[in-house]
Amino acid sequence: MTPGGHSFLSSAPFRSVLLHGSIVLLLALLFGVLPEYHSGNLARIMVLAVYAMGYNVLFGYTGLLSLGHALFFAAGMYGLGLTMYWLDASPAPGMLAGLISALVVSAIIGSLALRTTGVAFMIVTLMFAQAGFLTILLLGEYTRGDEGFVLQQADRVLFGFDLTQPAVRYASALMLFSLCLALVAVLVQSRFGKTLVAIRENEERARMLGYDVLRHKWLAVIVSGTLSGASGAAYALLFGYAGATFATVQYSIFPLLWVLLGGAGTTIGPLIGTVFMFYLIDISSQFTSAYLLIAGIILILLTLFAPQGLAGVIRKRLIPWLP
């Protein structure tokens, strides 16, 4: 029994562990039953869901709307890609280089962008992301610009495991997703996470209570950017390609859509939104080239009838304790 007289089995930490553990177990079991095409898609979705998780830390829990997260995704992708491509590094130091790149870039951008608020913050983050995209094109001699570069199959071997093999790639994506999901679940239940929510709800009151709002926002940008960079590095490593396309505005809008569709400020919303949007685009693109128009219409309908996203509906109607 807990001090309040409630069983630990009914406590929020236990329910959170049970929920997130069940999701990870389900994803592991799906590999054995899904056709290769869909299991390949799910591996890609899990990596991109980490990107959405990173965005959700900043937008869903801190209340900061960024339009430049592609910069952090690309920082991780090129940190790993360039290290492996030009320095012949193995995947482990390449992954570390990607994480460090994303952390450094997010720390610098956060310290500059947080001098602004509201719409100005959105515009500044967009400008930084566009500057990053143009830098990739300008340094085309090393980054290969729009063309990008391919990481050879022989180089994508981590601790003896060939990451190009479907089962190994799926397991790697699942491990990354599971680790990041656990980190986010712990973060949002921590004092730091609750402070971010307080800042989102009422920044002035949080400041009056003595919290260093600017410092917490800056740390939120770093956590968000590093998670996004981990996704970018893993994407390049598991799927063997790094290109300037991933630094465009479109890839800054995608995580916003995933989080809005899935449910901002929920731990499972990013995964739900990424799955929904991925297959919405995949299916609709088979019928029309205007698949983003269809995605836009769906987003408008969800905004009208489920403004808190799909996970928000689940929280409201089924699982009120959903973190």
The model's pLDDT over 306-315, given as tens digits with 9 standing for 90+, comes to 888 888 888 8
Is residue 196 a contact partner of residue 202, using CB atoms and an 8 Å limit? no
Residue tagged 């089995």 (tokens): 9
In DSSP terms, which residues pair with 298 in a beta bridge?
none
Q: How confident is the model at residue 93 (pLDDT cuts 50, 70, 90)?
A: very high
Q: What mean pLDDT comes out for the span 274-284?
A: 91
Angle 166-189/12-33 helices, nearest 10 degrees?
Answer: 170
Residue tagged 């971010």 (tokens): 196
Q: Amino acid identity of 100?
A: I
Q: Provide the b/e sequence for 16-45 (b: ≥16 CB within 10 Å).
A: beebbeebbeebeeebeeeeeeebbbbbbb
Q: What local confidence, expressed as pLDDT, does residue 156 receive?
A: 95
φ, ψ of residue 152 in degrees (nearest 5): -65, 150
Residue tagged 């590999």 (tokens): 31
Higher pLDDT, 316 or 194: 194
Q: What local confidence, expressed as pLDDT, does residue 142 receive?
A: 93
pLDDT digits (tens, 9 = 90+) for 124-143: 999 999 999 999 999 999 99
Is residue 129 a contact partner of residue 58, using CB atoms and an 8 Å limit? no
